[in-house]
Amino acid sequence: MKSILITGGAGFIGSNFLTYFLDQYSEYRLINLDLLTYAGDLENLKDLEHEKRYSFVHGDICNKELLSHLFSHHDIRGVVHLAAESHVDNSIKDPGAFVRTNVEGTFALLDAARKHWLDAPFALKKGYEDCRFLHVSTDEVYGSLGETGFFTEKTRYAPNSPYSASKASSDFLVRSYFHTYGLPVLTSNCSNNFGPRQHDEKLIPTIIRKATARQPIPIYGNGKNVRDWLYVIDHAKALDSIFHKGKLGETYIIGTRNERTNIELARYICRLLDKLAPHQAGSYSDLIAFVEDRPGHDHRYAIDPAKLEGELGWKAELDFESALQETIQWYLNKYQIINTKVTKEAPTTDKPQKEVKKDKNKENLVQEQPSQASQNTENTAEDFVEEVEAEEVVAEEVVEETLHTRKRSSEKTQQEPPNPYAQDYSRYANFLSQEDLEEALEGLAEIKASLIRARKNYESAQENDKDAESKAIMIMRKAEKGEIAWEEANKLAMQLLRKQEQAQEEVRTTKKHIAELENLHSKMEQHVDTIKNARKAYRKKVRMPDSSDTIDMIERMKAKVEKDEILSDLYEQIRRAGPDPELERKVNDALGVDAQKEALKDLKKKLGLD
């Protein structure tokens, strides 16, 4: 049986990969080496406690003596290196911990593998020809993209945070061990992961945790940072493909072409929560709050996984919506269990230490003094746990209430919202049965007028969408410069983004309406042509004079009346459905805009008078 060393197997990606890998390969024995810093949790692996092909070692990847013992004692033939410090915010506060774990730890692992697998540079020991070392890294090493383009394996490195710089350094170390020693290595760089078991500090768990506790959901800056989201099980399957089928010395980037801005993601999660756990206080999206952006925040990540798909045949299997819904349900279950415990037992400041079974064969070679990485994360972990406990107490009644509301809601039949244009479609469809040419032409003119109005509404909704977004961005930029208080900027930006949501919904609805009207218009034109042809044939048969000139005159008259009515109707719609005066006043004051002048200019533009 071949022994594979998995580092960081108690963390989010590690535990999901380890469980998947163990289930896929009965010929492997997996040794999980994890220091159990704040992001590692043996609860993630509780189902494997009695698995004979799995063993856990509590230790540090920087401990060279421990690594030497593990490689020789278990005769390690493969490594999947997932252990890392990975939170950008934490790297800004304490970059030293990231350099130690991500750079020095990777070096220690590479060197242990080199000594155990090679007799000399480019000379693998006999029987060790099939050894492999897979280094798991991040797309953040490539820096930030503009509005277009994708990361590929040929993208130059441009890390912008201590975290991404430490991972870039570890990538270069892996590359050097291939070109200098011939060590059989592979590297993967993945996009943002999501799924069960992710630490509470990450974006998606934070959104769910804050929402269910009815607390502000923090979104950095203006929320327009873009990430490519990858479901953790699809990531595990990609690592499987790379480990077994990848070309040695190569890099494979893993993504799904699934881009979302942070604000879009937050809104979407809130909409799903509104369905899965509705709350009487209103939509969870009302809790979204913008906060000051972090230093060096990359604007956009996007991955083109064509190499992985083409060479190794990997493709993401679960669509984003289904995977996200499963993820949300997992966290709802998790937070409900936590709050149930808090209800029964008052929180205590005495936190039990994690129990780790000690192996008699010295597999748990832990240093007597806590490692530097452990010391660096200890305060952060304790602060976070205390924060979560406080939130759980506050959220206790809210969560119980949510459960009852959710149960009642699930008993109701889910219905699609009524189509606001259904009555019009029904009336317009009746025009198709008209046999009189004048009445048919009148029906055609009415449908055409509705189509023109719908297209105007569509264009107006698109403009409102862009206008609300651009103003929200300007407001947040002024807040970043200190020209507007963050609290006031957040209120204005959220109101603008709610208007943007309404405009986007209007765009979607009107687009469908236009498609229906275009279909009806096409059918009505055919129907009018049929009546015209029938009338011409009848006149020819009874030798009546051709009245096509009269018909054309009627159509021209209809067109003129239709145009006048549409302009009048459009002017009235613009007058009635103007912007929220109070919100516009506040936004214009904040941006220093002359509201009357801009409103007059906008109205002239919409009426075609400028």
Distance CA 144, CA 125 (A): 42
State what percent of residues in the chain have pLDDT above 70.
74
The answer to whether 287 and 213 have CB atoms below 8 angstroms apart is: no
- Among 210-219, 233-242, 442-451, 540-549, the least confident range: 540-549
CATH class of 2-350+370-403: alpha beta
Counting every residue written for the chain, the total comes to 610
282 versus 562: the higher-pLDDT residue is: 282
Q: How confident is the model at residue 423 (pLDDT cuts 50, 70, 90)?
A: low
Average pLDDT, stretch 7-17? 96
Distance CA 121, CA 422 (A): 75
* pTM recorded for the entire structure: 0.64
Q: How confident is the model at residue 433 (pLDDT cuts 50, 70, 90)?
A: confident
Candidate list 34, 60, 140, 363, residue with the active-site label: 140
Burial class, 503, CB count within 10 angstroms (exposed 0-12 / middle 13-18 / buried 19+): buried
Distance CA 297, CA 274 (A): 30
* 54 beta partners: 30
Highest mean pLDDT among 217-221, 377-381, 564-568 belongs to: 217-221
pLDDT for residue 368? 34
The three-point CA angle 598-601-603 to 5° equals: 110
pLDDT for residue 266? 95
Residues in contact with 478: Cβ distance below 8 Å, sequence separation at least 6, in sequence order: 484, 489, 590, 591
Task: Using alpha carbons, select from 320, 322, 156 the residue that is nearest to residue 228.
Answer: 320
150 versus 417: the higher-pLDDT residue is: 150
Q: Is 317 helix (H, G, I), strand (E, B) or coil?
A: coil
Is pLDDT at 412 greater than 50 in this prediction? no
Q: Could you report how far apart the first and last alpha carbons of the chain are, in Å?
A: 79
DSSP state of 46: G
pLDDT 10s digits, 85-103? 987 878 888 999 999 999 9
163 catalytic per annotation: yes
119 catalytic per annotation: no
Residues in contact with 237: Cβ distance below 8 Å, sequence separation at least 6, in sequence order: 20, 314, 317
Distance CA 252, CA 269 (A): 30
Task: Using alpha carbons, select from 199, 188, 170, 183 the residue that is nearest to residue 62.
Answer: 170
Q: Is 498 helix (H, G, I), strand (E, B) or coil?
A: helix
Is pLDDT at 347 greater than 70 in this prediction? no
pLDDT for residue 581? 67
Is pLDDT at 387 greater than 60 in this prediction? no
Q: How confident is the model at residue 539 (pLDDT cuts 50, 70, 90)?
A: low
Which secondary-structure segment (H or E) carries 109? helix 105-117
- Give one DSSP letter per residue of 220-237, joined into a string: ETTS--EEEEEEHHHHHH
The answer to whether 229 and 166 have CB atoms below 8 angstroms apart is: no
Average pLDDT, stretch 375-391? 38
Distance CA 98, CA 82 (A): 14
Average pLDDT, stretch 463-477? 80
Matching residue, tokens 């060393």: 5
pLDDT 10s digits, 595-609? 666 666 665 565 555
The answer to whether 34 and 40 have CB atoms below 8 angstroms apart is: yes
The answer to whether 338 and 205 have CB atoms below 8 angstroms apart is: no
Going by their DSSP bridges, the two strands 259-261 and 226-231 should be labelled as antiparallel
Q: Which amino acid is at 456?
A: K
pLDDT for residue 408? 42
Maximum CA pair distance of the chain? 112
Candidate list 163, 177, 301, 335, residue with the active-site label: 163
Is pLDDT at 353 greater than 50 in this prediction? no
Burial class, 317, CB count within 10 angstroms (exposed 0-12 / middle 13-18 / buried 19+): exposed
Q: How confident is the model at residue 292 (pLDDT cuts 50, 70, 90)?
A: confident
Distance CA 231, CA 255 (A): 9
Which secondary-structure segment (H or E) carries 476? helix 437-480
140 catalytic per annotation: yes
pLDDT for residue 18? 96
pLDDT for residue 401? 41
Distance CA 513, CA 535 (A): 32
- Among 45-54, 73-82, 283-292, 576-585, the least confident range: 576-585
Using CA atoms, how far residue 155 sits from 144, 256, 606, in Å, is 11, 17, 45
Q: How confident is the model at residue 426 (pLDDT cuts 50, 70, 90)?
A: low
Going by their DSSP bridges, the two strands 132-138 and 185-190 should be labelled as parallel
Candidate list 85, 104, 139, 259, residue with the active-site label: 139
Going by their DSSP bridges, the two strands 76-81 and 2-7 should be labelled as parallel
Average pLDDT, the chain: 79
499 versus 204: the higher-pLDDT residue is: 204
Is pLDDT at 577 greater than 70 in this prediction? no
Distance CA 574, CA 207 (A): 37
Which secondary-structure segment (H or E) carries 189? strand 185-190
